Structure 1
Amino acid sequence: MAVPGILMRLSEGLSSTTLPLPGIEALYTLRADDNEKPRNNTVYFLNDISPLLSAKDQYDDDSATNNDVSWIICSFINGRDISTPKDGAPQTSPHKLPTPAALESVLVVNGSTPRPDKEADYHAWYDQEHGAKLTQVPGWTAARRYAHVKSYGASETASFYGLNFYEEENGLGGPEWKAGVTDWTLRIRSNAAKPNIRRVWKVMATQ
């Protein structure tokens, strides 16, 4: 059975080559917008990540040319789009964004690692409260959630990733964004096995 998901290809160097992967549904070329490293990220939306779980040879070929590259492979959990009811549950399809993110728009990627005994609370928080609150931030356009499955390379990973897309002009850091920090949010943070990995990216190209 096909497992939809993403490959995040992280590298300090910029690559102009698209990996020859099966089942590419969409591709986003991203540049860091947070002064952190690595500075480049290519996100492949795939209809099935299964072939990548035994693709070390392909990763080795990539890293032979780009020795700082890392692959992070994740399976799709659920998502939200503009059409999703604000007070409704996230949808389990579609995986690919129905409308491609605009050039110069912003993608915020949050990697979270709750303690194993607190994972159920983490998922409930994200699906019942946090995800819906992010939709209230001006400029928000879409969200997708993923579970880490496998990685190649040295980049630090998290157990779960939330990807939220925003227009170039947005309310990140503003009152609606700050309202997302609730008592439940603070409890989730206190139950983390390690600190979040938060990166902010600018969309440079799409396919």
Structure 2
Amino acid sequence: MIDLLTILIFGGIAVFFGFKLFTVLGRHEGHMEAPSSDNVSPAGIGMPGSTSPLRPAFEGPAAAGLEAIAAADSRFDPNEFVVGAKRAYRMIVEAFAAGDRDALSDLLAPDVLKRYVSAIDARDKRGETVNSEIDRIKSADITEAEHHSGTARVKIRFEAEIATETRDETGKLVSGDLANLAKTVEYWTFQRKTTSSDPNWELSSVSVA
């Protein structure tokens, strides 16, 4: 007959593996969300019987909007969002320079995609190619956030150092220079339908400071 100690030992093992499975399956996914560690962030866990998920307190001018987004989507974590947004910034800048329309279609809202594709088409007609190199993203800060009619929007101020050059079909330099870094400050707004099962965010607006 199995004694009580053996039952407790095997019960503890079952609980351990059940928890590890939860942490793996419960990870954040999506283009605009950074992969989480083995320990699930408190921002994504709701305690049994509680009316709201545990999450860090939000501060700053966007705090109210971040609270509203987190209330609609318990997986939302501002810190992970910024990490993912920085990755998206690089991907979009590089895809636009390369004229990669397919990559852009997964990252941009329809209106923004239309403008980017039009610019790429015009560039292609002129026989021009663009090279862009991001030396570093100096800062990426959330400045505004809101949740309205089932849509979450987060605006981020990006400050980066980028070198860009444009050459014609003969290889002659038209503008810019990869040897010279330029400071850029832009405001990018990302949005996502919180009523959708799709966890991905898309770029919906770009403005220059």
TM over 0.5: no
Question: What band does the TM-score fall into relative to the shorter chain?
Answer: under 0.3
Q: Which has the higher contact order (CA 8 A, sep 6+)?
A: 1
Q: TM-score, normalised by structure 1?
A: 0.23
Higher normalized strand content (fraction of residues): 1
Higher normalized helix content (fraction of residues): 2
Q: TM-score, normalised by structure 2?
A: 0.23
Q: Over alpha carbons, which structure has the higher Rg? A: 2
